[in-house]
Structure 1
Amino acid sequence: MSPSHPHVVHTEDVPWTEVAHGTRVALKRKQLGAAAQGRKLGCSLVELPPGRRSWPAHYHLANEEAVYVLAGTGSLRIGPDVVPLRAGDYVALPPGAECAHQLLNDGAEPLRYLCFSTMEEPDVLVYPDSKKVGVMAGAAPGGDKAARTLLAYLPLAASVDYWDGEEP
Protein backbone atom coordinates (compact mmCIF):
# COMPACT_ATOMS: atom_id res chain seq x y z
CA MET A 1 0.00 0.00 0.00
CA SER A 2 1.41 3.37 -1.02
CA PRO A 3 1.67 6.19 1.54
CA SER A 4 -1.17 8.71 1.46
CA HIS A 5 0.75 11.87 2.36
CA PRO A 6 2.88 13.99 -0.04
CA HIS A 7 5.83 14.00 2.41
CA VAL A 8 5.88 10.19 2.65
CA VAL A 9 7.17 8.03 -0.19
CA HIS A 10 7.90 4.36 -0.56
CA THR A 11 11.06 3.45 -2.48
CA GLU A 12 9.09 1.18 -4.83
CA ASP A 13 7.03 4.19 -5.95
CA VAL A 14 10.05 6.36 -6.86
CA PRO A 15 11.52 5.72 -10.32
CA TRP A 16 15.20 4.95 -10.91
CA THR A 17 17.21 7.52 -12.84
CA GLU A 18 20.31 6.22 -14.61
CA VAL A 19 23.54 8.19 -14.86
CA ALA A 20 26.38 6.97 -17.07
CA HIS A 21 29.44 8.45 -18.71
CA GLY A 22 32.00 6.43 -20.62
CA THR A 23 33.07 3.06 -19.27
CA ARG A 24 33.88 4.12 -15.69
CA VAL A 25 30.96 6.14 -14.31
CA ALA A 26 27.53 4.50 -13.98
CA LEU A 27 24.88 4.43 -11.30
CA LYS A 28 21.18 4.50 -10.79
CA ARG A 29 19.40 6.47 -8.12
CA LYS A 30 16.02 7.20 -6.62
CA GLN A 31 15.75 10.81 -5.42
CA LEU A 32 13.75 10.11 -2.26
CA GLY A 33 14.15 13.59 -0.75
CA ALA A 34 12.77 15.32 -3.84
CA ALA A 35 9.94 12.80 -4.18
CA ALA A 36 8.90 13.51 -0.56
CA GLN A 37 9.09 17.27 -1.25
CA GLY A 38 12.11 17.82 1.00
CA ARG A 39 13.58 21.32 0.87
CA LYS A 40 16.72 21.47 3.03
CA LEU A 41 17.81 17.83 3.04
CA GLY A 42 18.31 15.62 0.01
CA CYS A 43 18.39 11.84 0.12
CA SER A 44 18.97 9.42 -2.72
CA LEU A 45 19.04 5.65 -2.81
CA VAL A 46 21.99 4.81 -5.06
CA GLU A 47 23.01 1.55 -6.67
CA LEU A 48 26.52 1.33 -8.10
CA PRO A 49 27.24 -1.70 -10.34
CA PRO A 50 30.43 -3.76 -9.89
CA GLY A 51 33.46 -2.19 -11.55
CA ARG A 52 31.90 1.28 -11.76
CA ARG A 53 32.44 4.63 -10.05
CA SER A 54 29.94 7.19 -8.86
CA TRP A 55 30.08 10.86 -9.84
CA PRO A 56 33.49 12.28 -10.74
CA ALA A 57 35.65 13.01 -7.68
CA HIS A 58 34.47 16.32 -6.23
CA TYR A 59 33.92 18.43 -3.15
CA HIS A 60 31.44 21.14 -2.29
CA LEU A 61 32.11 24.55 -0.81
CA ALA A 62 28.57 24.95 0.60
CA ASN A 63 26.90 21.55 0.93
CA GLU A 64 27.68 18.69 3.26
CA GLU A 65 27.07 15.14 2.13
CA ALA A 66 26.87 11.80 3.92
CA VAL A 67 26.78 8.19 2.79
CA TYR A 68 25.31 5.17 4.59
CA VAL A 69 26.16 1.81 3.00
CA LEU A 70 23.21 -0.57 2.91
CA ALA A 71 24.65 -3.52 0.96
CA GLY A 72 27.77 -4.60 -0.87
CA THR A 73 31.39 -3.52 -0.58
CA GLY A 74 33.45 -0.87 -2.26
CA SER A 75 36.05 1.82 -1.76
CA LEU A 76 35.83 5.50 -0.99
CA ARG A 77 38.39 7.91 -2.36
CA ILE A 78 38.44 10.68 0.24
CA GLY A 79 41.15 13.30 -0.02
CA PRO A 80 44.41 11.41 -0.68
CA ASP A 81 43.14 8.20 0.96
CA VAL A 82 41.27 5.14 -0.30
CA VAL A 83 39.10 3.57 2.40
CA PRO A 84 37.25 0.24 2.15
CA LEU A 85 33.48 0.39 2.68
CA ARG A 86 30.94 -2.28 3.61
CA ALA A 87 27.33 -2.48 4.73
CA GLY A 88 26.80 -0.54 7.95
CA ASP A 89 29.48 2.10 7.26
CA TYR A 90 28.53 5.77 7.60
CA VAL A 91 30.63 8.50 5.97
CA ALA A 92 30.46 12.25 6.74
CA LEU A 93 31.61 14.53 3.92
CA PRO A 94 31.78 18.12 5.21
CA PRO A 95 32.43 20.90 2.68
CA GLY A 96 36.05 21.47 1.69
CA ALA A 97 39.00 20.05 -0.22
CA GLU A 98 39.99 17.57 2.50
CA CYS A 99 36.79 15.65 1.72
CA ALA A 100 37.04 15.43 -2.07
CA HIS A 101 35.37 12.09 -2.71
CA GLN A 102 34.29 9.39 -5.12
CA LEU A 103 32.83 5.93 -4.50
CA LEU A 104 34.07 2.87 -6.39
CA ASN A 105 32.45 -0.53 -6.49
CA ASP A 106 35.40 -2.92 -6.49
CA GLY A 107 33.21 -5.75 -5.14
CA ALA A 108 31.31 -8.48 -6.99
CA GLU A 109 27.77 -7.32 -6.08
CA PRO A 110 25.99 -3.97 -6.52
CA LEU A 111 26.98 -1.37 -3.91
CA ARG A 112 23.76 0.09 -2.51
CA TYR A 113 23.82 3.18 -0.29
CA LEU A 114 21.87 6.19 0.87
CA CYS A 115 23.43 9.53 -0.04
CA PHE A 116 22.32 12.55 2.00
CA SER A 117 23.02 16.19 1.21
CA THR A 118 22.17 19.57 2.61
CA MET A 119 20.45 21.48 -0.17
CA GLU A 120 22.22 24.81 0.12
CA GLU A 121 22.45 27.16 -2.80
CA PRO A 122 24.41 28.75 -4.25
CA ASP A 123 27.12 26.10 -4.26
CA VAL A 124 30.52 25.70 -5.85
CA LEU A 125 31.78 22.23 -6.69
CA VAL A 126 35.45 21.55 -7.36
CA TYR A 127 36.54 18.55 -9.45
CA PRO A 128 40.23 17.95 -8.66
CA ASP A 129 40.81 15.16 -11.24
CA SER A 130 39.49 17.13 -14.22
CA LYS A 131 40.60 20.49 -12.80
CA LYS A 132 37.27 22.21 -13.24
CA VAL A 133 34.75 24.05 -11.10
CA GLY A 134 30.96 24.05 -11.19
CA VAL A 135 28.91 27.02 -10.00
CA MET A 136 25.17 26.83 -9.45
CA ALA A 137 22.47 29.06 -8.01
CA GLY A 138 18.70 28.98 -7.84
CA ALA A 139 18.68 25.28 -6.93
CA ALA A 140 21.20 23.13 -5.09
CA PRO A 141 23.03 20.26 -6.81
CA GLY A 142 20.46 17.50 -7.14
CA GLY A 143 17.67 20.07 -6.89
CA ASP A 144 15.10 21.30 -9.40
CA LYS A 145 17.03 22.06 -12.59
CA ALA A 146 14.20 24.28 -13.85
CA ALA A 147 14.75 26.59 -10.85
CA ARG A 148 18.45 27.15 -11.68
CA THR A 149 19.36 30.76 -12.36
CA LEU A 150 23.04 30.00 -12.89
CA LEU A 151 24.88 26.87 -13.96
CA ALA A 152 28.44 26.93 -15.26
CA TYR A 153 31.31 24.46 -15.44
CA LEU A 154 34.68 26.07 -16.07
CA PRO A 155 38.34 25.07 -16.11
CA LEU A 156 39.98 25.95 -12.78
CA ALA A 157 42.58 27.90 -14.76
CA ALA A 158 39.90 30.17 -16.27
CA SER A 159 40.42 33.57 -14.76
CA VAL A 160 39.94 37.17 -15.77
CA ASP A 161 40.79 40.40 -14.02
CA TYR A 162 37.98 41.94 -12.00
CA TRP A 163 37.79 44.89 -14.46
CA ASP A 164 38.01 42.86 -17.70
CA GLY A 165 35.08 43.68 -19.98
CA GLU A 166 34.09 46.80 -18.02
CA GLU A 167 34.22 50.20 -19.71
CA PRO A 168 36.76 52.59 -18.20
Structure 2
Amino acid sequence: MSSHKHVVHEQEIPWNEVTHGPKVSYRRKQLGAAAKGRKLGCSLMELPPGRFAFPRHFHTANEEAYYVLSGTGRLRLGEDTVAVKAGDYVALPAGPESAHQLVNDGTETLRYLAFSTMVEPDITVCPDSKKVVLFAGAAPGGDKAARTLSAILPLSSEVDYWSGEER
Protein backbone atom coordinates (compact mmCIF):
# COMPACT_ATOMS: atom_id res chain seq x y z
CA MET A 1 0.00 0.00 0.00
CA SER A 2 1.08 3.56 -0.68
CA SER A 3 1.95 5.92 2.14
CA HIS A 4 -0.05 8.86 0.73
CA LYS A 5 -3.46 9.26 -1.00
CA HIS A 6 -1.78 10.96 -3.99
CA VAL A 7 0.69 8.11 -4.53
CA VAL A 8 -0.42 4.89 -6.18
CA HIS A 9 1.40 1.83 -7.40
CA GLU A 10 0.23 0.56 -10.79
CA GLN A 11 0.06 -3.07 -9.67
CA GLU A 12 -2.43 -2.18 -6.92
CA ILE A 13 -4.97 -0.75 -9.40
CA PRO A 14 -7.34 -3.23 -11.07
CA TRP A 15 -7.72 -3.38 -14.84
CA ASN A 16 -10.96 -2.17 -16.40
CA GLU A 17 -11.51 -4.36 -19.47
CA VAL A 18 -13.69 -3.15 -22.35
CA THR A 19 -14.77 -5.10 -25.42
CA HIS A 20 -17.27 -3.88 -27.99
CA GLY A 21 -17.72 -5.72 -31.28
CA PRO A 22 -14.87 -7.37 -33.17
CA LYS A 23 -12.43 -4.42 -33.26
CA VAL A 24 -12.73 -2.62 -29.91
CA SER A 25 -10.89 -4.16 -26.99
CA TYR A 26 -8.64 -2.63 -24.37
CA ARG A 27 -7.51 -2.78 -20.77
CA ARG A 28 -7.20 0.42 -18.76
CA LYS A 29 -5.90 1.44 -15.35
CA GLN A 30 -6.92 5.00 -14.45
CA LEU A 31 -3.79 6.06 -12.59
CA GLY A 32 -4.70 9.75 -12.32
CA ALA A 33 -8.12 9.05 -10.78
CA ALA A 34 -6.65 6.50 -8.36
CA ALA A 35 -4.12 9.11 -7.16
CA LYS A 36 -6.94 11.64 -6.69
CA GLY A 37 -5.75 13.87 -9.54
CA ARG A 38 -8.09 16.72 -10.45
CA LYS A 39 -6.87 18.50 -13.58
CA LEU A 40 -4.64 15.86 -15.21
CA GLY A 41 -5.71 12.34 -16.12
CA CYS A 42 -3.36 9.47 -16.86
CA SER A 43 -4.29 5.93 -17.83
CA LEU A 44 -2.16 2.89 -18.51
CA MET A 45 -3.64 1.35 -21.66
CA GLU A 46 -3.17 -2.04 -23.34
CA LEU A 47 -4.45 -2.79 -26.84
CA PRO A 48 -4.35 -6.35 -28.19
CA PRO A 49 -3.19 -6.85 -31.80
CA GLY A 50 -5.74 -5.76 -34.40
CA ARG A 51 -7.78 -3.67 -31.94
CA PHE A 52 -8.42 -0.03 -31.05
CA ALA A 53 -9.78 1.63 -27.92
CA PHE A 54 -11.80 4.59 -29.19
CA PRO A 55 -13.29 5.89 -32.44
CA ARG A 56 -11.33 8.61 -34.22
CA HIS A 57 -12.16 11.77 -32.28
CA PHE A 58 -11.03 15.18 -31.14
CA HIS A 59 -11.84 17.25 -28.09
CA THR A 60 -12.79 20.92 -28.12
CA ALA A 61 -11.63 21.60 -24.55
CA ASN A 62 -9.15 18.87 -23.56
CA GLU A 63 -5.64 18.17 -24.72
CA GLU A 64 -4.43 14.58 -24.78
CA ALA A 65 -1.05 12.89 -25.18
CA TYR A 66 0.23 9.34 -25.63
CA TYR A 67 3.55 7.86 -24.59
CA VAL A 68 4.19 4.41 -26.09
CA LEU A 69 5.80 2.00 -23.63
CA SER A 70 5.93 -1.15 -25.78
CA GLY A 71 4.60 -2.55 -29.03
CA THR A 72 3.80 -0.79 -32.28
CA GLY A 73 0.75 0.87 -33.74
CA ARG A 74 -0.73 3.03 -36.40
CA LEU A 75 -1.96 6.47 -35.38
CA ARG A 76 -4.54 8.20 -37.52
CA LEU A 77 -3.78 11.85 -36.78
CA GLY A 78 -5.63 14.56 -38.67
CA GLU A 79 -5.43 13.53 -42.32
CA ASP A 80 -2.22 11.52 -41.81
CA THR A 81 -1.41 8.00 -40.68
CA VAL A 82 1.76 7.68 -38.61
CA ALA A 83 3.57 4.58 -37.31
CA VAL A 84 4.30 4.67 -33.57
CA LYS A 85 6.58 2.51 -31.43
CA ALA A 86 8.05 2.32 -27.94
CA GLY A 87 9.56 5.66 -26.91
CA ASP A 88 7.25 7.80 -29.08
CA TYR A 89 5.39 10.70 -27.46
CA VAL A 90 2.34 12.11 -29.24
CA ALA A 91 0.80 15.53 -28.42
CA LEU A 92 -2.89 15.86 -29.24
CA PRO A 93 -3.97 19.49 -28.78
CA ALA A 94 -7.70 20.27 -28.70
CA GLY A 95 -9.24 20.84 -32.13
CA PRO A 96 -10.04 19.12 -35.42
CA GLU A 97 -6.43 19.03 -36.67
CA SER A 98 -5.76 16.52 -33.86
CA ALA A 99 -8.57 14.07 -34.66
CA HIS A 100 -6.95 10.78 -33.72
CA GLN A 101 -7.29 7.04 -33.34
CA LEU A 102 -4.59 4.61 -32.24
CA VAL A 103 -4.78 1.11 -33.71
CA ASN A 104 -2.56 -1.83 -32.77
CA ASP A 105 -1.41 -3.14 -36.15
CA GLY A 106 1.47 -5.13 -34.63
CA THR A 107 1.75 -8.70 -33.35
CA GLU A 108 2.13 -7.93 -29.63
CA THR A 109 0.14 -5.93 -27.11
CA LEU A 110 0.48 -2.17 -27.54
CA ARG A 111 1.06 -0.64 -24.09
CA TYR A 112 0.98 3.12 -23.61
CA LEU A 113 0.22 5.94 -21.21
CA ALA A 114 -2.69 8.18 -22.18
CA PHE A 115 -2.72 11.64 -20.61
CA SER A 116 -5.54 14.18 -20.67
CA THR A 117 -6.37 17.51 -19.18
CA MET A 118 -9.59 17.11 -17.23
CA VAL A 119 -11.51 20.18 -18.39
CA GLU A 120 -15.28 20.27 -18.34
CA PRO A 121 -17.51 20.94 -20.08
CA ASP A 122 -16.08 19.19 -23.11
CA ILE A 123 -17.47 18.50 -26.54
CA THR A 124 -15.91 15.55 -28.33
CA VAL A 125 -16.43 15.15 -32.07
CA CYS A 126 -16.19 11.78 -33.85
CA PRO A 127 -15.78 12.77 -37.53
CA ASP A 128 -15.92 9.24 -39.02
CA SER A 129 -19.16 8.23 -37.30
CA LYS A 130 -20.52 11.80 -37.42
CA LYS A 131 -21.32 11.97 -33.70
CA VAL A 132 -20.86 14.56 -31.00
CA VAL A 133 -20.35 13.72 -27.30
CA LEU A 134 -21.26 16.27 -24.63
CA PHE A 135 -19.92 16.16 -21.06
CA ALA A 136 -20.58 18.58 -18.19
CA GLY A 137 -20.02 18.21 -14.46
CA ALA A 138 -17.07 15.87 -15.03
CA ALA A 139 -14.59 15.64 -17.87
CA PRO A 140 -14.38 12.62 -20.18
CA GLY A 141 -12.78 9.86 -18.11
CA GLY A 142 -13.85 11.67 -14.94
CA ASP A 143 -16.28 10.79 -12.16
CA LYS A 144 -19.50 9.66 -13.86
CA ALA A 145 -21.50 10.31 -10.68
CA ALA A 146 -20.55 14.00 -10.88
CA ARG A 147 -21.87 14.39 -14.45
CA THR A 148 -24.72 16.80 -14.96
CA LEU A 149 -24.82 16.16 -18.71
CA SER A 150 -23.68 13.22 -20.80
CA ALA A 151 -25.06 12.85 -24.30
CA ILE A 152 -24.01 11.22 -27.56
CA LEU A 153 -25.85 12.63 -30.57
CA PRO A 154 -25.62 12.56 -34.35
CA LEU A 155 -23.86 15.67 -35.64
CA SER A 156 -26.90 16.29 -37.83
CA SER A 157 -29.32 16.58 -34.88
CA GLU A 158 -30.02 20.27 -34.91
CA VAL A 159 -33.22 22.03 -33.99
CA ASP A 160 -34.26 25.65 -34.03
CA TYR A 161 -33.29 27.47 -30.83
CA TRP A 162 -36.95 28.29 -30.15
CA SER A 163 -38.53 24.97 -31.15
CA GLY A 164 -40.71 23.55 -28.36
CA GLU A 165 -40.74 26.85 -26.43
CA GLU A 166 -43.92 28.64 -25.55
CA ARG A 167 -44.06 31.94 -27.43
For the aligned pair, the TM-score class normalised by the smaller chain equals: over 0.9
Count, aligned residues = 167
Provide the residue aligned with 1:136 in structure 2. 135
SS at match of 1:106: coil
The answer for the alignment partner of 1:111 in structure 2 is: 110
> Could you tell me which residue of structure 1 aligns to residue 82 of structure 2?
83
Q: Which residue of 2 aligns with 1:60?
A: 59
* 1:148 corresponds to: 147
* Matched-pair identity in %: 69
2:18 counterpart SS class: strand
Question: CA offsets, 1:30-85, max 9 Å, x none?
Answer: 00000000000000000000110121111000000000000011110011111000
Normalising by structure 2, report the TM-score: 0.99
Q: Which runs of 5+ in 1 are unaligned?
A: none
Aligned partners of 2:164, 2:97: CA distance in 1, in Å?
A: 35
1:6 corresponding residue in structure 2: 5
Partner-residue secondary structure (3-state), 2:54: coil
Offset of 1:4 from its aligned partner? Answer: 1.1
**AA of the residue aligned to 1:54:** A
Give the equivalent residue in structure 2 for 1:49: 48
> Structure 2 CA distance, aligned partners of 1:97 and 1:31?
25
Q: Distance in 1 between the 2:19 and 2:81 partners? A: 22
Matched, 1:23 2:19: no
Cα distance in structure 1, aligned partners of 2:19 and 2:140 = 17
Aligned with 1:140: secondary structure? coil
Other structure's SS at 1:8 match: coil
SS of corresponding position for 1:98: helix
> TM-score normalised to the size of structure 1?
0.98
Alpha-carbon offset, residue 20 of structure 1: 1.5
Q: Structure 2: which 5+ residue stretches go unaligned? A: none
- Specify the code of the residue in structure 1 equivalent to 2:21: G
| 3-state SS of 1:34 partner | helix
AA partner of residue 90 (structure 1): Y
Q: Distance in 2 between matches of 1:164 and 1:145?
A: 30
CA RMSD of aligned residues (A): 0.6
Deviations 1:4-31 (A, max 9, x none): 1100000000110011210011100100
- 1:94 maps to 93
> What is the rounded CA distance, in whole Å, between the counterparts of 2:6 and 2:166 in structure 1?
51
